[in-house]
Structure 1
């Protein structure tokens, strides 16, 4: 098959690499320009560099336009394969290739369509995450499933751990999906849209700790915002403090959410949970933090006296 690839960052890079290793002909790579967005500077292996190193013509676009559509009509691809393409692809692009567009998305669709699916899934305590290859239709991440693979989420996994394990699924999933499409198969699995969920891009405010959340949820937020992602943060005595490592307290503590309360183990307990005033909530044990100047410290060296509050604002 003659294949065009739409993709960006490491996800697109892994997809293009799999296509280059396949028996199919890659006739064009389409990618986005580099971005200064905090989340788009992470895992930013260049699709353009890989394509050009293999002699594949490359087009850089923020979104599909009429010029690109004319180029695709001239190329007449059998299939477009997309991964981490960040803008809407119009229906005329989807209808152009003989086999349509195969989209690769790093969630177990129909759940976690949209952006940052691994982070949202970890925050929400999902037991597994994965990668889905599906045939694109006019609705975002909603087309019939061709191949889907899952991996378990461990109790101490970070988003960084899950990224490395899911990105390794891309090549075998793309290879299997292309083989199925080339064989003439079309009996794909429709998504159960009653189980669909769609999430927005992560922004700075999404990492700002809300101390009315249960400690279990905040602990997952800390793991979800692991390096190199922007860390979960809070404010203490007017300054931002990034939380690098935390756990749920052994004991139950009562009081006002955000209170710097007591030492436990190697860390400091912060009262957490909407029900904390009833004395029914575990606290969050902050173990390691990063100050605004980039210094990593044990929490006991920052919270040296008990009392005071952590808050969402300076």
Structure 2
């Protein structure tokens, strides 16, 4: 098939690579404009642009894709279908109607759950046992289009947003390459989403990582994993920020004040929560490197009864 591919971050790269490998003709790659990055604020290419350059593909970087000039440019890229993965701009109905097979989106959740910007993090935050990738036929709504295909995978106790991101971007690449030939042959009947089961999720922001020790140990564990690698979860110790990277929820009940240190051993320390104990094994003190608790305790005293938060 002739494809216009739209995507921007790392998540969108494996699917583009897979479509090229499968022999599809990529008539153009549409990605966000170059942005300043890092302390030097040097202009940086998106990961998808870097991939497109590597393969010698035509690249289009509209500031606003809905503008008339941008729409006319899209029309010049003759394509059977548009494939979208974390592009970063909303497509108008005019754009959705350009290709004969419409536009499909690779979304990192089991729709209709977690429509929106951060489905991977929210699946972990909510303690879901599984997540997945949905290929949807795009419409003018936010992730509201009919479902074309779904693949699911489990979320383990040690999975973070980072590890699930890696798994789901590969799953998306696999699913979209399986699905496109079926679309071309007319073998798929899209299924409308069940609006009664729809949930939305917004963007992740830094303050979401703040730990409330009155929450349960399992909820805090979910938070720590969902905020890893960004923006990270954090508390305070003796007035300094302490990022918490690796934890384990222990269902032991203790009638102690949430946020106080319950016990300390050579490899970890445990903190009381509103329900259960949280074992912490990897941290990062403000101004220091990320390290395991064994190394951290060599230079910092944690004592039973100390208060965090």
Q: Distance between the aligned counterparts of 2:159 and 2:96, measured in 1?
A: 37
1:229-278 deviations in Å (ceiling 9; x for gaps): 332111111100011221223531123322233336843222212xxxxx
Match of 1:294 in 2: 288
Match of 1:243 in 2: 244
Q: Is the 8 A contact 1:264 1:285 kept in 2?
A: no
Q: Distance between the aligned counterparts of 2:308 and 2:37, measured in 1?
A: 27
Matches for 1:23-62 after TM superposition, within 5 Å = 23-34=23-34, 46-62=47-63
1:98-136 deviations in Å (ceiling 9; x for gaps): 111010011111111112211111121101111111100
1:155-190 deviations in Å (ceiling 9; x for gaps): 222222222222221222111221111112451121
Match of 2:231 in 1: 230
Check 1:268–1:151 CA distance in 2 against 1; reply closer, same or farther (3 A cut). same
1:84: Cα distance to partner? 0.6
Match of 2:143 in 1: 141
Q: Is the 8 A contact 1:4 1:28 kept in 2?
A: yes
Match of 2:158 in 1: 156
Q: Distance between the aligned counterparts of 1:235 and 1:247, measured in 2?
A: 19
Check 1:36–1:55 CA distance in 2 against 1; reply closer, same or farther (3 A cut). closer
Aligned pair 1:80/2:74, yes or no?
no
Match of 1:69 in 2: 71
1:5-51 deviations in Å (ceiling 9; x for gaps): 1101122211211221233321110001355799xxxxx97211221
Match of 1:282 in 2: 276
Aligned pair 1:304/2:267, yes or no?
no
Match of 2:217 in 1: 215
Match of 2:149, SS?
strand
Matches for 1:186-205 after TM superposition, within 5 Å = 186-205=188-207
Match of 1:253 in 2: 254
Unaligned runs of 5+ in 1: 39-43, 274-280
Q: Distance between the aligned counterparts of 1:73 and 1:87, measured in 2?
A: 17
Match of 2:5 in 1: 5
Check 1:115–1:37 CA distance in 2 against 1; reply closer, same or farther (3 A cut). farther
1:179-213 deviations in Å (ceiling 9; x for gaps): 11111245112111111111111111111111121
Q: Distance between the aligned counterparts of 1:141 and 1:174, measured in 2?
A: 16
Q: Is the 8 A contact 2:264 2:302 kept in 1?
A: no
Check 1:306–1:298 CA distance in 2 against 1; reply closer, same or farther (3 A cut). same
Q: Is the 8 A contact 1:269 1:283 kept in 2?
A: yes
TM-score, structure 2 length as denominator? 0.89
Q: Which runs of 4+ in 1 moved over 4 A?
A: 34-38
Q: Distance between the aligned counterparts of 2:124 and 2:93, measured in 1?
A: 33
Q: How many residues align?
A: 298
Match of 1:293, SS?
coil
Match of 2:253, SS?
strand
Q: Is the 8 A contact 1:7 1:47 kept in 2?
A: yes
Match of 2:42 in 1: none
Q: Is the 8 A contact 1:63 1:89 kept in 2?
A: no
Residue of structure 1 aligned with 2:112, choices 110, 113, 116: 110
